[in-house]
A and B are shown apart, each in its own frame.
Chain A
Amino acid sequence: MKTATNLDVYYEAVSASDKLAPIQEMIRACMQCGTCTGSCPNAFAMDYTPRQLWRLVLLGQKDEIFRSKTFSLCSDCYLCTLRCPRGLHLTEAMDALKQIAAGENRAEYKYSILFNKNFMQSVRRHGRVKEMEFMTNYFTAVKNPLVPFRFASLGIKLIAKGKVSVSWLPKARFPLEKIFQKVNELETPP
Chain B
Amino acid sequence: MRYLYYPGCSLEGTAIEYNLSTRCIMHMAGVELVEIDDWTCCGASAAEATSDLLSLALPARNLAIAEKMEDVDEILVPCSACYLNLKKVEEKTRGDQRMMNTLNTILAEENLRLQGRAVVRHLLDVIANDLGAQKILSLVKHSLRGLIIAPYYGCQCLRPYTVFDDPEVPQSMEPIIEATGAKAHHWDMGATCCGASHMNTRMDVGIELVAHILEGAKGADAIVTVCPMCQMNLEAHQRKISHWRHAELDITILYLPQLLGLAFGISEEELGLNLNLSASDAFLEKIQKAA
Contact = CB atoms under 8 A, between A and B. Distances in A.
Contacts of A128: 9, 12, 40-41
A127 B41 contact: yes
B106 A186 contact: yes
B78 to A, nearest CB: 15
B50 A117 contact: yes
B61 interface: yes
Given A115-B200, A120-B47, A187-B53, A179 B16 contact: no
Contact of A41 (B50, B160, B192, B202): B192
Q: Chain A interface residue count: which class?
A: 35 or more
A95 B202 CA distance: 17
B197 to A, nearest CB: 7
Contacts of A78: 155-156, 159-160
B46 A115 contact: yes
A89 B88 CA distance: 13
A41 to B, nearest CB: 4
Contact of A179 (B49, B52, B58): B58
Given A163-B275, A186-B105, A186-B106, A75 B40 contact: no
Contacts of B52: 95-96, 99
Given A76-B196, A82-B167, A183 B51 contact: yes
Contacts of B198: 42, 73, 75
Given A73-B205, A128-B12, A79 B47 contact: no
A89 B48 CA distance: 14
Given A115-B197, A129-B9, A45 B50 contact: no
Interface in A23-51: 41-42, 44-45
B158 to A, nearest CB: 8
Interface string A167-190: 000000001101111110011000
A183 B201 contact: no
Interface string A70-83: 00010111110110
Contacts of A2: none
A122 B46 CA distance: 11
A131 B155 contact: no
A42 B193 CA distance: 9
Interface stretch (A13-21, A53-61, A150-158): A150-158
B209 interface: yes
A182 B205 contact: no
Nearest to B110: A178
Nearest to A111: B201
Q: Chain B interface residue count: which class?
A: 35 or more
Contacts of A112: 49, 197, 201-202
B30 interface: no
Given A76-B196, A120-B50, A179 B155 contact: no
Contacts of A45: 202, 204-205, 208
B156 A183 contact: no
Interface string A89-122: 1010001101100100000000110011101100
A186 B195 contact: no
Interface string B32-72: 00000010110111111111111101100100000000000
Contacts of A102: 49-50
Contacts of B208: 44-45
Contacts of A76: 45, 48, 155-156, 196
B192 to A, nearest CB: 6
A90 B8 CA distance: 27
27 contacts: A42-B198, A44-B208, A45-B204, A45-B205, A73-B202, A75-B198, A79-B159, A79-B193, A82-B160, A82-B167, A91-B160, A111-B202, A115-B201, A116-B46, A116-B49, A119-B46, A120-B50, A127-B41, A128-B40, A129-B41, A131-B9, A131-B14, A176-B40, A176-B58, A178-B110, A179-B109, A183-B106
